[in-house]
Amino acid sequence: MITTSALTLFGLGFGSAAILSVASKLLYVKEDPRIAQVEDLLPGANCGGCGYPGCSGAAAAIVSGKANAGVCVVAETEAMVAIAALMGQTIEEREPEIAFRDCTGGTRAEERFAYAGIMDCQAAAMLHGGSKSCPEGCLGLGTCVAVCPFDAIHMGPEGLPVVDPDECRACGKCAEACPRGVISIVGMTSRLLHLNEVTDCLAPCRQKCPGQIDIPRYIQQIKAGDYDGAVNTIKERNPLLMVCGRVCPRPCETVCRRNNVDSPVGINMLKRFVADRELHGGTHLPVPCAKDTGRKVAVIGGGPAGLSCAYFLRRLGHSPTIFEAMPALGGQLRYGIPEYRLPKADLDWEIQGILDLGVDVHLNKRFGKDYDIESLKQDGFEAVFLGIGAWQASGMYAEGEDLEGVWGGIEFLTAHALGQSIDIGKKVIVVGGGNTAIDCARTCVRLGAEVIMLYRRTRAEMPANPEEIVGAEEEGVQFKFLAAPTRVVGDENGRATHLEYKMMELGEPDASGRRRPEPVEGSETLMEADLIIPAIGQKPDLTCLYDDDAESCPVETTRWQTIVADPDTFQTIVPGVFTAGDVFTGPDLVISAVGGGRKAARSIHYHLQQDGDIPIPDTLQRDLIPYTMFKEVTGVRQSERAQMPHLCHGDERNCTFSEVEGALSETEALAEADRCLHCGLTCYDRDMEQPEEKEQQIL
Amino acid sequence: MQEYFLLFIAAIFVNNIVLAQYLGNCPFIGTSKNTGVAIGMGAAVVFVAVMATAITWLVQTYLLEPLGLGFLQTLAFILVIASLVQFVEMFLKKMVPPLYKSLGIFLPLITTNCAVMGIALICQRKEFTLVKSVAFAAASGVGFMIALVVLAGIRERLEIRRVPRAMRGTPVGLVMAGLMSLAFFAFKGMI
């Protein structure tokens, strides 16, 4: 029996071994020995943070070329270098990424209902969207904290997750677990490329800003005394913060929730405060740029759109070259905005900061004459940005406007900025009610003339900034409202001597919502003038785009002389040719041009890196989000808005081109930052109840 | 036909190999953290259990029993199953690489899976025919797979819940397995 048993087992074993031996010979598959070697170099944490099932999966992916040597989120640089050496790869510096929480709400967002045992974010989000009145914000249940394999995230006192940057490995588990998209893994490039989405934590000011600046964030940084941090936050969206701090008409402030309490936060004053701090510090704060890609991009036009586009392209690692027709960069910042509002020396300083990043410049090069799109392509430029602005003044459509002594508003300001001597005489009539008209009027006052502004509607309907109108009035500019020019009268030498105008009265509202001015018959009056400046609008000069025969133009244009492009990607009908700024939108704000420049740079980046595939988010923010626009803001006490200090007084103000407005002091800036309600989509900071108020309630 | 239907229902629900027979607990806890992994492991168990049961039935019927060596059953079955798994692994790697990749690490894990061994032994104890043994093995494998996938689904949700630190991972997994086992006992009344 024992013998039989032994023989049987031996036979079975031998049979199995024989079969396996033959099978191993016949079925042998050569396996890459590097898989085992790579696996030995990995830390063996099996955390899954790399996206593969364990370290052996990651090792196989590295050897098959599906993953790079740095795929492991736990391995130190030493292991990464060893794996790369084994795989014959080289280690390149990777842009650091980290988990980032974009929600300001936390416990400030009102609860919609009380939980009954379902204490994780995903379940709560599935059940009526969560507990908070905000449909997008953090639910504060800490699911992200539970899933973090590196203990790099914890719930802070405000009910919001706080990321420890030293521990975060950017594995993405928190972002994956968050049902609201509050947490994302971001590096500098993804932050620069991000467009506002309705699912972001967008305070009303963030929604309204054409530059998409994270306004609540930089105001909080100012409040915390982190002024450099505030500058960096602004520079992620706007390289011209010093300029905008001076000339921006502040659309953000029009939707500030404080409007419902007292007056809006002085957002632009705060921007100017930190920008001036950097300016007076004398050195530009370091701006990080991605690794060089070596891709050349031609930026045509050195105005705000072109400068912005070049700045963001450079930060994304590309090599932009600006081609400018004028002798200096800045576009209408330099030639359209007078010195007393924007000192040229300060503008030069800000532009130099952009150029120092590694942007090439060719001045006095006119597009269509010195070069064109074809020649740029031959020179190795892989994409072109057209930001040639709106330099042509619109006419008054009045008889005699071509007489000598009639200057278009932008032409006048440009000639003055170029230092050309202009005979303005003693009496100047400026026609128009916008900021350019005011700039012309205030410039002429400084040149010693008596100035009358003619506007066809009432003062309340003037599109210029109210502060500008008051400033002009204080400097002696006279206004004649409800008056429209009809004819320019000249002398025998062909020089304008008078402007004939008609009085108007307001009729029914027109498409713009303003009441349409209608002429009063028989009210024609002559007004004496040495110089007449129609400043009633501008349009792009597109002649440079046309061939010599002036018939064919490579890009499509509109009847307003603007270039047609995709409103999301800014790409024209010519692949690889992008546009933004006034030549695309028509005359608009500096910050709109800056925002357009960034969006175009984003599109160019994708065009170069992804063969023309430019992604547009599904939840892109296009308009103000209705539920975030409050009619009533409760629980906030009134406080006084800061006043911008005046730098020039009395005669000095009218006679020199010195800067008129100053910056806030640090104390004023901190007080103004403290007025910010730190809004999210629906949440905002309410004032704490005062002890006496509590007592009164108890009584 | 009814007999096979009852055999299936009994093997999957009433006498579930892991929740009622308590076999194969190691892979049950070890590979039930992720639903995808659980499906892979379950499929591998079905495949190997069917093949192992068929071969061990042949070994028992045509080798051990005629020689009166029934007491060598356990040793012989271990030998056969281990060799079979090795062979299947080599075969799949060479001939069906996509299936081999999808089964991945689970094939070698099954070498020491007592559920497979248990299924083969149960078939012998109940004196099933070859066809019935194969049917029972397939049904038991499916029962293992269902239990594994359900537990994985529960554990995936547990990952994002506030579980006391000392109970995280395997401890709470075992508690859940126990609760599932209680739930499966309710099927006892079915047949």
Q: Is A20 touching B (CB cutoff 8 A)?
A: yes
**A457 and A492: one domain?**
yes
A420 with A516, same domain: the answer is yes
Q: Which residues of A touch B94 (CB under 8 A)?
A: 26-29
Q: Which of A80-84, A660-664, B8-12 has the lowest mean pLDDT?
A: A660-664
Whether pLDDT at A60 is above 60: yes
Assembly ipTM:
0.78
On whether the CB atoms of residues A583 and A390 are closer than 8 A, the answer is yes
Q: Is the pLDDT of residue A510 over 90?
A: no
Domain boundary residue, one of A504, A539, A574: A539
Same domain, A81 and A155: no
Is residue B177 very low, low, confident or very high in pLDDT (cuts 50, 70, 90)?
very high
How large a percentage of chain A has pLDDT more than 90?
A: 53
| A635 domain-assigned | no
A13 contact residues in B (CB cutoff 8 A): 79
CB contact under 8 A, A24 and B90: yes
Q: Please compute the mean of the pLDDT values over residues B174-191 and round it to a whole number.
A: 87
| Distance (Å, whole) CA A377 – CA A459 | 50
Structural domain of A500? 392-539
- What is the reported pLDDT for B94? 83
pLDDT at A461: 86
| Token pair 């027979």: residue | B21
Q: Which two tokens stand for residue A18?
A: 């024989």
Return the H-helix or E-strand segment holding A483. strand A483-490
Q: Do A533 and A407 meet the contact criterion of CB atoms below 8 Å apart?
A: yes
Which residue, among A619, A676, A629, A636, has the nearest Cα to A204 in the 3D structure?
A629
Question: Nearest CA of chain B to the CA of A120: how many Å?
Answer: 6
What's the number of domains chain A is made of? 3
Q: Are residues A44 and A182 in the same domain?
A: no
Given an 8 Å threshold on Cβ–Cβ distance, is A13 in contact with B79? yes
| Closest residue of chain B to A149, computed from CA coordinates | B159
Q: Which one of A13, A24, A120 has the shortest CB-CB distance to B161? A: A120
Distance CA A309, CA A680 (A): 29
Q: Cβ of A16 under 8 Å from any chain B Cβ? A: yes
The verdict on residue A616 lying in a domain is no
Whether pLDDT at B189 is above 50: yes
Token couple for B78: 């271990």
**A134 annotated ligand binder:** yes
Query: Is the pLDDT score of A681 beyond 60?
Result: yes
Residue A693 has pLDDT above 60, yes or no: no
- Boundary of a domain, candidates A539, A562, A586: A539
Contacts of A120 in chain B (CB under 8 A): 160-162
Same domain, yes or no: A147 and A166: yes
Scored b (16 or more CB within 10 A) or e, A76-103 reads eeebbbbbbebbebeeeeeeebbbbbbb
Query: Mean pLDDT for chain B?
Result: 86
pLDDT for A683: 93
Placement of tokens 């499509």 in the chain: A556
pLDDT of residue A280: 92
Residue pair A199/A622 in contact (Cβ under 8 Å)? The answer is no
CATH number at residue A44: 1.10.15.40
* A147 in the same domain as A42: no
**A53 and A186 share one domain:** no
> If you average pLDDT over each of A53-67, A103-117, A309-323, B96-110, which comes out highest?
A309-323
Looking at the structure, tell me whether residues A81 and A124 fall in a common domain: no
pLDDT in tens, A639-679: 999 988 877 766 666 667 777 778 899 999 999 999 999 99
Identify whether A588 is part of a domain: no
Cross-chain residue pair B76–A146, CB shorter than 8 Å: no
Q: What local confidence, expressed as pLDDT, does residue A114 receive?
A: 63
Split at pLDDT 50, 70, 90, the class of A699 is: very low
> What is chain A's mean pLDDT, rounded?
89
Length of chain B: 191
At A100, give phi and psi (nearest 5°). -135, 130
Residue A244 marked in a binding site = no
Q: Flag if A146 and B159 touch (Cβ within 8 Å).
A: yes
Same domain? A397 vs A529: yes
The mean pLDDT value for B161-190 works out to: 86
Same domain for A111 and A90? Answer: no
Handedness of CA A252, A254, A260, A263 (dihedral sign): positive
| A624 Cβ under 8 Å from any chain B Cβ | no
Closest residue, chain B, to A1 (C-alpha): B69
- Asked whether residue A366 is domain-assigned, the answer is no
Write out pLDDT tens, residues A200-240: 999 999 999 999 999 999 999 999 999 999 999 999 999 99
**Same structural domain, A69 and A107:** no
**Which domain CATH number covers A429?**
3.50.50.60
Q: Domain for residue A413, yes or no?
A: yes
Q: How far apart are CA A156 and CA A164, in angstroms?
A: 11
pLDDT of residue A694: 44
Q: What are the pLDDT digits (tens) for A242-292?
A: 999 999 989 999 999 999 999 999 999 999 999 999 999 989 999 999 999
Residue A255, domain member (yes or no): no
Domain stops at, among A484, A517, A539 = A539
If you compute the radius of gyration of chain A from its CA atoms, what whole number of angstroms results? 32
pTM over 0.90: no
The token duo for A126 is: 């599935």
pLDDT of residue B37: 77
- The DSSP secondary structure of A425-470, one letter per residue, reads -SEEEEE--SHHHHHHHHHHHHTT-EEEEEESS-GGG--S-HHHHH
Predicted pLDDT at A24? 87
CB-CB neighbors (< 8 A) of A155 in chain B: none
Chain B CB contacts of A2 under 8 Å are none
Q: Is A4 on the interface with B (CB under 8 A)?
A: yes
Cα of B96 to nearest chain A Cα, Å: 11
Would you call B69 and A8 a contact, using CB atoms and an 8 Å cutoff?
A: yes
A289 annotated to bind ligand: no
Q: Are residues A65 and A151 in the same domain?
A: no
The residue of chain A nearest to residue B159, with distances taken between CA atoms, is: A147
Q: What is the pLDDT of residue A46?
A: 74
- DSSP per position, A4-53: HHHHHHHHHHHHHHHHHHHHHHHT-----HHHHHHHHHS------TTSSS
| Residue among B72, B94, B104 whose CB faces A9 most closely | B72
Q: What's the rounded Cα separation, in Å, for the pair B60 and B88?
A: 20
Nearest residue on chain B to A29, alpha-carbon basis = B94
Q: Are the beta carbons of A27 and B59 separated by less than 8 Å?
A: no
Confidence of residue A95 (pLDDT cuts 50, 70, 90): confident
Q: How confident is the model at residue A696 (pLDDT cuts 50, 70, 90)?
A: very low
In a domain, residue A228? The reply is: no
CATH number assigned to the domain comprising residue A102: 3.30.70.20
Q: Specify the higher pLDDT residue, B19 or B164.
A: B19
pLDDT tens column, A109-164? 888 776 555 678 888 888 767 778 888 899 988 889 988 888 899 999 888 999 99
| Cβ pair A23:B83 closer than 8 A | no
Tokens of residue B91, six digits: 């075969």
Q: Which two tokens stand for residue B63?
A: 């080798």
CB within 8 Å: B79 and A12: yes
Question: Which pLDDT band, with edges at 50, 70 and 90, does A559 fall under?
Answer: confident
Q: What is the pLDDT of residue A512?
A: 72
Average pLDDT over residues A23-44: 86
- What CA–CA distances, in Å, run from A273 to A230, A594, B165? 10, 20, 49
Backbone angles phi, psi at A249, to 5 degrees: -80, 10
The pLDDT of residue A698 is 40
A110-140 CB burial, b ≥16 within 10 A, e <16: eeeeeeeeeebbbbbbeeebbbbbbebbbbb
